[in-house]
Amino acid sequence: MVKKITLLIPVIISAFIIGILGILFIPSDIVNKDFDFSKGTIKIDDELLTVEIADTDFDRKRWLTFRDEKLSPDSGLLLIYDKPDLYAMWLLNIRFPIDLMWFDQEGDLVYLKKNAQPCETILDSSECTFKNTNPAKFILAGASGFIQYHNISEHSKLEIISA
């Protein structure tokens, strides 16, 4: 009788190769797609900011992938989820370092990560995946330095003015 591992090894290797080829040969219309997120206004502490809004499954999955231009220091991308939960952010196909902030449904900052580095390869997911430790409903992503530029601290509060 054939051992299970003998059957699984070729399947695993094939799946891995197909995945790598899929990433290497992503159609250019996906990679170069215009980013046309809706705009909104948020308030962090006493500062008003205009942000791009990702509030659909498609937009949250797409978020900053394959985006060549960095976010400006005065803007960010706000991911809005339907319910509070633990949300991991895998920085695969992100092309620049970012600051990440998770806020709960009351707008309190529950977790932040400064200067999160994007994945160099698909194999280093443990080094480029970041996850909140307390339930959050909102994730704000800004270019690296955003947290320092806006003096965001563990006591910061998010208020959505318009989304």
DSSP assignments along 77-116, one per residue: EEEEEEEEE--EEE-TT--S-EEEEEE-TTSBEEEEEEEE
Which of 19-33, 48-62, 95-109 has the highest average model confidence (pLDDT)? 95-109
Q: How confident is the model at residue 1 (pLDDT cuts 50, 70, 90)?
A: low
Q: What is the mean pLDDT of residues 108-131?
A: 90
pLDDT at res. 142: 95
Rounded CA separation 50/41 (Å): 5
- For residue 42, the model assigns a pLDDT of 96
At residue 25, the pLDDT reads: 64
Q: What is the mean pLDDT of residues 29-48?
A: 79
- What domains, with CATH codes, occur in the chain? 34-162 (2.60.120.1140)
50 pLDDT band (50/70/90 cuts)?
A: very high
pTM of the complete model: 0.77
Q: How confident is the model at residue 10 (pLDDT cuts 50, 70, 90)?
A: confident
C-beta neighbour count of 45 within 10 angstroms: 14
* Mean pLDDT, the chain, integer: 87
